[in-house]
A and B are shown apart, each in its own frame.
Chain A
Amino acid sequence: MRALLPLLLAALLLALPARANEEIVLGLSQAEVSITTNFNGSEILVYGAVKRDQPIPDGPELQVVMTVSGPSEPVIVRRKEKRFGIWVNTEAVEVDRAPSYYAVVTSAPMADVLKRTEDLRHKVSIPRAIRSVGAPMEIADAASFTQALIRIRKAAEQYQVIEGGVTVDEQTLFRAAVRLPAALTEGAYDTRIFLTRSGNVVAQYETIIDVRKVGLERWLFTLSRENAFLYGLMSLAIAIAAGWGASAIFSVFRR
């Protein structure tokens, strides 16, 4: 322990100047997304500036990486195989945590803005954002299940990688746009911004975009959970009333 302390201090001292040097000041076009009845996706504009107390350092240019992540849930990925002439679900792998929505927006190609080690540490790219630990022993190619999850969600635009989506001006100002799809789950959307130089993270900032149902959507959702019996009766009453109403209207037309 004693021997470690100076080492830690030294590491801190080394890390400190880089951190203190450049800092992120951020603005969002909206800090919360309200899901209303006519909600059809939303575009969030993120704009920011780099605050520094020294002139812009020489060397590689400043790059920006942004991630927006929806609430994580476990997901079961199943694979079909042909058995007795028909396609049946055979093997299944449970992915422990996969965000319902995930977007990575960068100012240049991913390989140029972030080193693999930094990606591992901060869990930036899509495969890193998904956590899959326990695949059953009998499944040899567990990785293909995670890849399938990413492929399916990418096709549904739930997972996005937008390389070059962040515009950086004079290594100081940056802006990016993220499109949230129409099929959105409620929750806190974790938004992270990383400043990098030659693939190393030099500064980082985190904020939350709140996605909430409002108005009628909120009311119906709450009722269906908290007063399920009443909600069921209401659904039936509406169904019966609509059925009767249509019948009555049509018999008027016939006369």
Chain B
Amino acid sequence: MQIYLPIAEVSVNAFLLLGLGGLVGVLSGMFGVGGGFLMTPLLFFIGIPPAVAVATEANQIVASSFSGVLAHFKRRTVDLRMGTVLLIGGLIGAALGVMVFNYLKAQGQVDLLVKLCYVVFLGVIGGLMFFESLKAIRNTKRGKPPARKKHNWIHGLPFKMRFRVSGLYISVIPPVIVGIAVGILAAIMGVGGGFIMVPAMIYLLGMPTKVVVGTSLFQIIFVTAFTTMLHATTNYTVDIVLAVLLLVGGVIGAQIGTRIGVKMKAEQLRILLALMVLAVCGKLALDLLLQPSEVFSLGAAGGH
């Protein structure tokens, strides 16, 4: 069934969109990532104009994250206090990121920078997670107990706060910095930033994996809601019909994903996420390295 999207001004298959939404929703629920880093390229691929894809994707992430976070609230796996601290950093970062983005836009080549950002970050994070999880799985197979969290320099910082749900007593400085960094990247790359946030929470802040997913989703809701409003009021690029189709599939997928995620072991969950991140990274890297079949591309004029 074809549906005409009023803002994107293209006609697409409604079931295709529902399916895409569902697929990304499952991943989102499983891993606590918004799924923007997967969905946005997929939308480009089916012919949605990039500006509309990025803006509408933000709106869809609000829905799937909200659906996911409710499931996590019931399980008490959301660290509200940590989420709020991260959110404060995230909003500051997002505002900074928009400034950086506009500066780079004025210099030209913003597409390239976004793609390079994706390749570098997805590659590094995916690679690190993959090897770390592989090691953890090997250790549990051999019967070794998982390595205890070590005390490092992070624990020497001032402004300590107790995060009961995460079982942490650390300074608020690292989470705020993580929030800002993720916010900047999220604004530049046009995604919620879950795929950066989740590993940062696990490896930098030492939060337990089960709590990480819910907390990340909680933070993503607000950052993406902020982005949606920004796009809707300044660029008029939020396509509500597209968003509804994606989010109907997405919210159902997120519910299923959350249930799958609970049944799986943390290491398995992480290794799957790592593989997925690496796959997207590889695809983008190939796009940059191989000769494209069409070296010309069309863009709307005005605003170079």
Q: Which A residues are closer than 8 A to B by beta carbons?
A: 35-41, 73-82, 85-89, 92, 94-95, 145, 148-149, 151-153, 182-186, 213, 216-218, 220-221, 224-225, 228-229, 231-236, 238-240, 242-247, 250-251
Contact = CB atoms under 8 A, between A and B. Distances in A.
B51 to A, nearest CB: 13
A131 to B, nearest CB: 13
B235 to A, nearest CB: 9
Interface residues of B, number: 59
A74 B299 CA distance: 9
A183 B8 CA distance: 9
Interface string B221-250: 000010011011100101011011001100
A80 B65 contact: no
Contacts of B6: 213, 216-218, 220-221, 224
B296 A79 contact: yes
Interface in B65-85: 65-68, 70-71, 74
Interface of B: 1-4, 6-7, 9-11, 47, 59-60, 62-68, 70-71, 74, 109, 111-112, 225, 228-229, 231-233, 236, 238, 240-241, 243-244, 247-248, 251-252, 254-255, 287-292, 294-302, 304
B238 A243 contact: no
A86 B240 contact: no
Nearest to B119: A86
14 contacts: A37-B3, A76-B301, A78-B296, A78-B297, A79-B295, A89-B111, A89-B297, A92-B304, A224-B232, A235-B240, A244-B67, A244-B70, A247-B66, A250-B71
A243 B9 contact: no
Contact of A238 (B111, B240, B296): B240
A48 B136 CA distance: 77
A184 B9 contact: yes
A88 B65 CA distance: 34
Contact of A242 (B63, B109, B291, B300): B63
Contacts of A151: 294, 296
A77 B229 contact: no
7 pairs of A and B residues whose beta carbons are closest in the complex: A243-B66, A232-B232, A182-B11, A148-B296, A246-B251, A74-B301, A239-B63
Looking at A74, A145, A186, A240, the one whose CB has the most chain B CB atoms below 10 A away is: A240
Given A224-B236, A239-B247, A80 B292 contact: yes
A125 B7 CA distance: 30
Given A36-B4, A152-B297, A231-B232, 9 more contacts: A37-B241, A78-B299, A86-B112, A224-B240, A225-B236, A235-B240, A243-B63, A243-B247, A247-B251
A86 B284 CA distance: 11
B236 A247 contact: no
A230 B299 CA distance: 29
Looking at B6, B291, B292, B301, the one whose CB has the most chain A CB atoms below 10 A away is: B6
Contacts of B300: 73, 75-76
A17 to B, nearest CB: 45
A124 B2 CA distance: 32
Contact of B228 (A41, A94, A236): A236
A85 B295 CA distance: 15
B4 A39 contact: yes
A87 B292 CA distance: 8
Given A77-B296, A152-B298, A182-B4, A247 B71 contact: yes
Given A220-B7, A234-B240, A238-B244, A244 B66 contact: yes
A217 B287 CA distance: 35
A240 B63 contact: yes
A228 B70 contact: no
B228 A235 contact: yes
Contacts of B65: 243
A87 B288 contact: yes
A75 B300 CA distance: 5
Contacts of B70: 243-244, 247
A239 B297 contact: no
A232 B229 contact: yes
Contacts of B2: 38-40, 182
B62 A236 contact: yes
Given A40-B11, A217-B4, A239 B47 contact: no
Given A75-B299, A148-B296, A246 B10 contact: no
Contacts of A245: 251
